[in-house]
């Protein structure tokens, strides 16, 4: 079993994919185009991501970070490795700051063309963050959470979870991994498209190792970040999570970088030495309904070597794509024909989002802010869909 979707993004929101547990393989774009043909651009006019339950307004900004000490192993010609990051953070006021687009313009156009969606569909999705809003400051700085998306996917596809954590009092740093994501838009509208070998254990392990290096580089750059966020981050309290290959990246990065205090893998098969060594720091596995340690040997092996706090939770009724915005958007965008239950599950999309937000917040609150919520200790009657795996 492999971990990735070799085009999981809304471009990959060509959005139609064939599925097996934690494995996504794209079908031809024309197949999804037929399904998308029933969507009118006006259908997206009223679509907004689920409301944020946190107490803070949210600001966001993007930066290109270039590692001048590392050659990009995937670029067609020798060049330094660059990574696009987007940060979400608690804001003190958003008046006068424009709403953040769901995707950057060139990326949205690429995804719409690849998926057969009407032009403007993705631009009409409403987010809750505001570009370059004035950050809220707190004594000691906000805890930081890094994020890595699924293979082939853009950070944009996870906006709901990322905005939510920021509204709860965390600074989120989401990475787009060039030549891995379907497309990454750099300043000036330059698009870097996917260019990696086909899925397989060896190629996936290489991709995860490069992503882990991206993670450590980005973390090292945060103290020098220019602009209004300087001094707002508590870099002694840093966690990380990811979906699919991003979950594998989280474990791999924790293996090589002790600055990461806690991690979460959302439904991603693992790769690299961490499978055999485990971790001594807190780690949460959270799976879809058809993926667990009984059918994923990497999870079983990794689990046996974990010496720090660890939990294995399963979201009943969920599919692999329940851990991204597709869960919340497939209904409002009338894309149910593209996504059978084995992909998005039978659980209501908004309910899946609510549960994921709640458990991620509880986890990072406990291990980055020393919170005392009992939610992670045993099943909760308010969340019967969350199963504790022994």
The stretch 166-185 carries a mean pLDDT of 96
Indicate if the pLDDT at residue 32 is higher than 50: no
What is residue 82's predicted lDDT score, i.e. its pLDDT? 97
Tens digits of per-residue pLDDT, 300-332? 999 999 999 999 999 999 999 999 999 999 888
What is residue 112's predicted lDDT score, i.e. its pLDDT? 87
Tens digits of per-residue pLDDT, 334-386? 877 777 788 899 999 999 999 999 999 999 999 999 998 899 999 999 999 99
% of the chain beyond a pLDDT of 70: 87
What is residue 116's predicted lDDT score, i.e. its pLDDT? 80
What is residue 149's predicted lDDT score, i.e. its pLDDT? 97
Tell me the domains of the chain and their CATH numbers.
Answer: 17-33+47-388 (3.40.50.1820)
What is residue 93's predicted lDDT score, i.e. its pLDDT? 86
What is residue 46's predicted lDDT score, i.e. its pLDDT? 67
Indicate if the pLDDT at residue 29 is higher than 60: no
The stretch 56-68 carries a mean pLDDT of 97
Q: 251 vs 337, which has greater pLDDT?
A: 251
Indicate if the pLDDT at residue 9 is higher than 70: no
- 3-class SS letters over the chain: CCCCECCCCCCCCCCCEEEECCEEEECCHHHHHHHHCCCCHHHHCCCECCCCCCCCEEEEEEEEEEEEEEECCCCCCCCEEEEEEEEEEEEEECCCCCECCCCCHHHHHHHHHHHCCCCCCHHHCECCEEECCEECCCCCCEEEEEEECCCCCCHHHHHHHHHHHHHCCCEEEEEECCCCCCEEEECCCEEEECCCCCCCHHHHHHHHHHHHHHHHHHHHHHHHCCCCCCCCEEEEEEEEEEECHHHHHHHHHHHHCCCCCEEEEECCCCCCCHHHHCCCCCEEEEECCCCCCCCCHHHHHHHHCCCCCEEEEEECCECHHHHCCHHHHCCCCCCHHHCCHHHHECCCHHHHHHHHHHHHHHHHHHHHHCCCCHHHCCCCCCCCCEEECC
What is residue 35's predicted lDDT score, i.e. its pLDDT? 38
| pLDDT level of residue 242 (50, 70, 90 thresholds) | very high
What is residue 17's predicted lDDT score, i.e. its pLDDT? 33
What is residue 135's predicted lDDT score, i.e. its pLDDT? 96
| Single pTM value for the model | 0.90
Tens digits of per-residue pLDDT, 176-226? 999 999 999 999 989 999 987 666 778 899 999 999 999 999 999 999 987
Lowest-confidence region among 38-42, 70-74, 96-100, 306-310? 38-42
% of the chain beyond a pLDDT of 90: 73
What is residue 263's predicted lDDT score, i.e. its pLDDT? 98
What is residue 45's predicted lDDT score, i.e. its pLDDT? 57
Indicate if the pLDDT at residue 16 is higher than 80: no
| pLDDT level of residue 333 (50, 70, 90 thresholds) | confident
What is residue 274's predicted lDDT score, i.e. its pLDDT? 98
What is residue 336's predicted lDDT score, i.e. its pLDDT? 79
Please give the mean pLDDT across all residues of the chain: 87
Indicate if the pLDDT at residue 31 is higher than 60: no
Nearest CA-CA partner of 339 in 323, 326, 351, 348: 326
The stretch 272-287 carries a mean pLDDT of 98
The stretch 235-259 carries a mean pLDDT of 98
């Amino acid at each position: 079993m492999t971990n990735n979707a070799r085009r999981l993004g809304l471009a990959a929101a060509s959005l139609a994919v064939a599925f097996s547990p934690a494995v996504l393989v794209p079908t031809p774009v024309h197949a999804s185009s037929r399904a998308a043909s029933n969507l009118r651009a006006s259908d997206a006019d009223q679509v907004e991501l689920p409301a944020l339950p946190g107490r803070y307004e949210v600001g966001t900004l993007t930066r290109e970070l270039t590692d001048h000490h590392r050659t990009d192993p995937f670029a067609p010609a020798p060049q330094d490795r660059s990574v696009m990051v987007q940060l979400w953070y608690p804001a003190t006021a958003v008046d006068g700051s424009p709403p953040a687009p769901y995707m950057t313009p060139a990326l949205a156009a690429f995804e719409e063309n690849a998926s057969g969606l009407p032009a403007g569909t993705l631009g009409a999705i409403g987010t809750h963050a505001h570009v370059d809003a004035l950050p809220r400051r707190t004594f000691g700085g906000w805890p930081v959470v890094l994020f890595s998306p699924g293979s082939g996917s853009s950070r944009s596809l996870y906006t709901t979870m990322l905005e939510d954590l920021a509204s709860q009092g965390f600074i989120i740093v989401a990475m787009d991994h060039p030549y891995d994501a379907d497309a990454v838009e750099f300043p000036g509208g330059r698009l870097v498209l996917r260019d990696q070998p086909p899925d397989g254990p060896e190629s996936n392990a290489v991709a995860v190792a490069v992503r882990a290096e991206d993670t450590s580089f980005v973390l090292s750059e945060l103290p020098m970040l220019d602009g209004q966020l300087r001094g707002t981050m508590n870099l002694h309290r840093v966690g990380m999570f990811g979906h699919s290959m991003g979950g594998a990246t989280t474990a791999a990065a924790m293996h090589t970088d002790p600055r990461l205090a806690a991690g979460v893998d959302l439904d991603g098969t693992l790769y690299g030495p961490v499978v055999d060594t485990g971790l001594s720091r807190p780690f949460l596995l959270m799976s879809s309904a058809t993926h667990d340690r009984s059918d994923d040997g990497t999870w079983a092996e990794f689990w046996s070597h974990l010496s720090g706090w660890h939990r294995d939770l399963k979201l009943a009724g969920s599919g692999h794509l329940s851990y991204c915005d597709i869960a919340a958007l497939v209904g409002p965008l009338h894309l149910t024909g593209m996504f059978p239950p084995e992909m998005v599950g039978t659980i209501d999309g908004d309910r899946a989002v609510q549960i994921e937000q709640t458990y991620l917040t509880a986890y990072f609150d406990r291990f980055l802010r020393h919170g005392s919520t009992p939610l992670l200790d045993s099943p909760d009657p308010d969340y019967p869909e969350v199963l504790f795996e022994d």
